[in-house]
């Protein structure tokens, strides 16, 4: 003999809650260029190369596409969709935040063709010396911390526009450590070395694309030592 | 109404808790690893504490929990680290697993939101897994709680099957969403499929210099095409579950899909892809976390069968067929693989 369930309403409530979860995570997983809607970031050579490639491809298909018009059109479409999606998700935000069910899967949507490498240098007796270069096994000052995946993520962001304050604060934080670790140093310099990734043919031919430095900041160390005092 | 009744009935299905228990242990280890490496690298007060107290940047009040506790100060952040690690340990041990998952979830959420610059999609993957473990009955077997309750480490008590299905859905959503956003001309058909080659050249995520892959460019092109096609087509995996949820023996499309078993090709691409990523790239716990979800692809009966085969292999004898234990359990599905 089967007994009726103690709470006959529960299977229905559970089914409704699971359906709501499926709906919430499904909607949140809809693609969106969130985080990429920064017009200054679109000026990056990687993004520009991508737009060039798509304009060329569409033209090769016989579509009369102008490069600048394509960029403007994509900006409008991206912004409209991002705003519409944000409005759709707004009532569900408490669920995403409280239950950790956010769906942010914009992973390697495009390779960074002009990646930047963090370079830290100290100035000793008037000459600059590199003490940390990202992924260089010989120059690893603070590497134990800076090479951790969470710091990699932060450093990657700071090579893009829009992170000026955090980038400056990172400089101050590193300068305090440089003042302690390099007693003869007068300055710490932070900058990114941007270099186009060589194509397979260029690697085979030994061609090294030129390096350009960006977002340089110098921090004077003497005053920090005085502060230690 | 018929569809609703079918949905209600589907969510009433139960199975042994082995798959969810394995998922619980693996996610618990990921919590310990994710928070533990930050502790081990001396980064807790660098990344998650406000600049005013020694951190590298101004963090504001942080998440609601951090704000409620008084802001991102060393005492608050270390407290949250302890809560997260305790939650992870409870999950691994299988003691009060729902509470452990809730502690780890709220701890990890609070810590990772406090500095949104220092994290990635792996944080979302981890918190999604933890929420499913809050909802699931994951410590009925292979747990300290089972040992205390029954005197044995293993139990065949049935648990709701739907949290395991939600874990599979989560995996599919992640791949499908990621694949559909890979719109670069280097990913999609018609382009040169150079995406993986150039991603491997990005210093941010490299473990070591990757120029040595240049002579293997055609292989990276094939891997790019395969990755993109596999991610885009990942929703097909749900068909494998649809086929297994139907009546047995299955005929027609269901029968064909059961024989095809899309889980195998899915895992044959996914597992090596994540292991390869783990080997050459440092993308935090992302690969390990993704692989945890694969544990939910298989029904507990299939895990038991695999364990029997392994034991038999070790003894050099053929595996003994399983006893028909699940068929008579009220509310259980006797169909393996669903």
Q: Are residues A126 and A216 located together in one domain of the fold?
A: yes
Q: Residue A5's Cα: distance from chain center in Å?
A: 52
Minimum-distance CB partner of A145 among B42, B128, B174: B42
Of A25, A144, A174, the CB nearest to B173: A25
Q: Assess whether A141 and A221 both reside in one domain.
A: yes
Classify residue A4 by its DSSP letter: P
Cβ contact, residue pair B282, A152, below 8 Å: yes
Q: Calculate how close chain A gets to B8, using CA atoms only, in Å.
A: 5
Per-window interface: A 38-67 vs B, CB < 8 A? 50, 53-54, 57
Closest CA to A159 of A52, A42, A41: A41
Domain identity same for A128 and A219:
yes
Nearest residue on chain A to B133, alpha-carbon basis: A99
Q: Chain B within 8 Å of A3 (Cβ-Cβ)?
A: no
Residue A163 within a domain: yes
Q: How many CB atoms lie within 10 A of CB A10?
A: 11
> Rounded to 5, what percent of chain B is helix, strand, coil?
65, 5, 30
DSSP B321: P
* Residue A105 located in a structural domain: no
Are residue A146 and residue A200 in the same domain, yes or no?
yes
Q: How far apart are CA A15 and CA A47, in angstroms?
A: 44
User: Mean per-residue pLDDT for B294-307?
Assistant: 96
Q: Is pLDDT at A229 greater than 60 in this prediction?
A: no
Residues in a beta bridge with A129:
A122
State whether B201 and A156 contact (CB < 8 Å): no
Residue range A163-210, pLDDT digits in tens? 999 999 999 999 999 999 999 999 999 999 999 999 999 999 999 999
Task: Concatenate the DSSP letters of all residues of A48-96 into one string.
Answer: HHHHHHHHHHHHHTT----HHHHHHHHHHHHHHHHHHHHHHHGGGHHHH
pLDDT at B333: 42
What domain range includes position A211? 116-228
How far is Cα A49 from Cα A63, in angstroms, rounded to an integer? 19
Please, what sign has the CA dihedral across residues A31, A34, A40, A46?
Answer: negative
In a domain, A73, yes or no: yes
Looking at residues A40-68, what average pLDDT do you find? Answer: 88
Provide, as residue numbers in chain A, all residues whose Cβ is less than 8 Å from the Cβ of B102: none
Q: Where are the beta strands (DSSP E) in chain A?
A: 116-124, 127-133, 185-195, 211-220
pLDDT band for B320, please (50, 70, 90 cuts): low
For residues A88 and A130, state if they share a domain.
no
Pick from A31, A117, A153: CB nearest B203? A117
pLDDT tens for residues B267-282?
999 999 999 999 999 9
Rounded-to-integer distance, Cα B8 and Cα A208, Å = 62
Residues A176 and A93 in one domain: no
Looking at the fold, whether A69 and A127 belong to one and the same domain comes out as: no
Cβ–Cβ under 8 Å, residues B132 and B167: yes
Q: Is the dihedral of CA B122, B125, B127, B129 positive or negative?
A: negative
Q: Please state the domain extents for chain B.
A: 16-160
Contact B215 A115 (CB under 8 A): no
Q: Which residues of B touch A200 (CB under 8 A)?
A: 197, 214-215, 217
> Cα(B333)–Cα(B244) distance, rounded to whole angstroms?
10
Q: How far is A201 from chain B (nearest CA, A)?
A: 7
* Contact across the interface for A100 and B128, Cβ inside 8 Å: yes
Residue B325's pLDDT is 42
Per-residue pLDDT tens over the stretch B87-120? 999 999 999 999 999 999 999 999 999 999 999 9
Helix (H/G/I), strand (E/B), else coil: A134: coil
Chain B residues lying within 8 Å of A10, measured CB to CB: none
- Model pLDDT for residues A132-157, shown as the tens digit of each residue: 999 999 999 999 999 999 999 999 99
Residue A127 belongs to some domain of the structure:
yes
Give the count of beta carbons closer than 10 Å to the beta carbon of residue B206.
Answer: 18
Give me the number of domains chain A comprises.
2
Q: Are residue A132 and residue A224 in the same domain, yes or no?
A: yes
Nearest chain A residue (CA) to B127: A100
- Residue A4 in any domain: the answer is no
Which chain A residues are Cβ-neighbours of B57 within 8 angstroms? 165-166, 169-170, 173
Do B41 and A101 count as a contact with CB atoms less than 8 A apart? no
Q: What is the mean pLDDT of chain B?
A: 93
- What is the interface size between A and B, counted as CB pairs within 8 Å? 192
Contacts B56 to A, Cβ<8 Å: 169-170, 173-174
**Tens of pLDDT, residues B30-62:** 999 999 999 999 999 999 999 999 999 999 888
- Contact B127/A109, CB-based, under 8 Å? no
Which pLDDT does position B334 carry in this prediction? 39
Q: Minimal Cα distance from B201: which residue of A?
A: A197
- Domain for residue A188, yes or no? yes
Q: Which of A69, A99, A129 is the endpoint of a domain?
A: A99
How much is the pLDDT for A228?
59
A192 phi, psi to nearest 5 deg: -105, 130
At A2 the pLDDT is 52
For range A3-27, the mean pLDDT: 92
- Closest residue in B to A175 (Cα) is B56
* For residue B323, pLDDT beyond 70: no
Record: contact B120-A153, CB cut-off 8 A: yes
Q: Are residues A72 and A124 in the same domain?
A: no
Q: Does A21 touch chain B (CB under 8 A)?
A: yes
Strands B158-160 and A211-220: unpaired
Contact A49, B196 (CB under 8 A): no
8 Å CB contact of A152 and B105: no
Phi first, then psi: give them for residue B159, nearest 5 degrees. Answer: -130, 160
**pLDDT higher than 80, residue A161:** yes
Sign for the pseudo-dihedral over CA of A17, A23, A26, A29 = negative
């Amino acid at each position: 003999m089967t007994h009726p369930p103690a709470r006959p309403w529960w299977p229905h409530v559970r089914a409704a809650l699971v359906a709501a979860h499926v709906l919430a995570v499904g909607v949140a997983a809809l693609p969106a260029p969130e985080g990429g809607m920064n017009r200054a970031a679109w000026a990056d050579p990687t993004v520009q190369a991508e737009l060039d490639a798509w304009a060329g491809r569409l033209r090769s298909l016989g579509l009369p596409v102008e490069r600048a018009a394509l960029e403007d059109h994509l900006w409008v479409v991206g912004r409209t969709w991002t705003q519409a999606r944000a409005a759709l998700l707004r009532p569900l935000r408490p669920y995403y935040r409280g239950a950790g069910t956010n769906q942010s899967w914009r992973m390697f949507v495009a390779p960074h063709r002009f990646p930047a490498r963090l370079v830290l240098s100290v100035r000793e007796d008037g000459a600059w010396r590199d003490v940390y270069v990202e992924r260089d096994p010989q120059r690893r000052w603070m590497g134990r911390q800076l090479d951790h995946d969470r710091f990699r993520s932060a450093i990657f962001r700071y090579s893009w526009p829009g992170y000026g304050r955090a980038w400056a604060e990172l400089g101050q934080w590193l300068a305090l450590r440089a003042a302690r670790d390099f007693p003869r140093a007068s300055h710490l310099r932070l900058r990114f070395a941007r270099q186009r990734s060589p194509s397979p043919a260029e690697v085979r031919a030994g061609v090294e694309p030129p390096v350009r430095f960006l977002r340089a900041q110098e921090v004077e160390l003497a005053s920090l030592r005085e502060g230690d005092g | 109404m018929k569809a609703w009744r079918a949905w209600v009935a589907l969510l009433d299905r139960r199975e042994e808790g082995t798959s969810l228990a394995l998922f619980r242990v693996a996610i618990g280890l990921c919590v310990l690893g994710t928070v533990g490496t930050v502790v081990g690298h001396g980064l807790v007060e660098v990344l998650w504490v406000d600049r005013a107290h020694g951190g590298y940047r101004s963090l504001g009040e942080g998440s609601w929990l951090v704000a409620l506790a008084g802001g991102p100060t060393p005492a608050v952040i270390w407290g949250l680290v302890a809560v997260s690690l305790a939650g992870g340990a409870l999950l691994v041990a299988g003691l009060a697993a729902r509470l452990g998952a809730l502690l780890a979830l709220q701890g990890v959420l609070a810590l990772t939101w406090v500095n949104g610059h220092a994290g990635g999609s792996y944080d979302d993957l981890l918190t999604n897994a933890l929420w499913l473990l809050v909802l699931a009955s994951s410590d009925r077997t292979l747990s300290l709680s089972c040992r205390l309750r029954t005197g044995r480490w293993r139990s065949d008590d049935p648990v709701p099957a739907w949290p395991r299905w939600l874990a599979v859905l989560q995996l599919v959503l992640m791949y499908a969403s990621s694949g559909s956003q890979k719109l670069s001309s280097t990913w999609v058909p018609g382009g040169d499929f150079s995406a993986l080659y150039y991603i491997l050249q990005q210093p941010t995520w490299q473990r070591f210099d990757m120029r040595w892959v240049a002579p293997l460019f055609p292989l990276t092109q094939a891997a790019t095409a395969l990755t993109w096609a596999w991610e885009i087509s990942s929703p097909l995996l749900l068909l494998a579950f649809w086929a297994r949820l139907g009546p047995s023996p299955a005929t027609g499309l269901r029968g064909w899909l059961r024989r095809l078993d899309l889980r195998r090709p899915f895992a044959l691409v996914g597992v090596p892809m994540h292991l390869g990523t783990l080997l050459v790239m440092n993308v935090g716990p992302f690969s390990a976390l993704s692989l945890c979800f694969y544990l939910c692809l298989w029904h507990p009966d299939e895990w038991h069968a695999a364990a029997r085969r392994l034991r038999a292999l070790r003894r050099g004898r053929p595996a003994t067929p399983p006893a028909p234990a699940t068929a008579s359990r009220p509310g259980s599905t006797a169909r393996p693989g669903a």
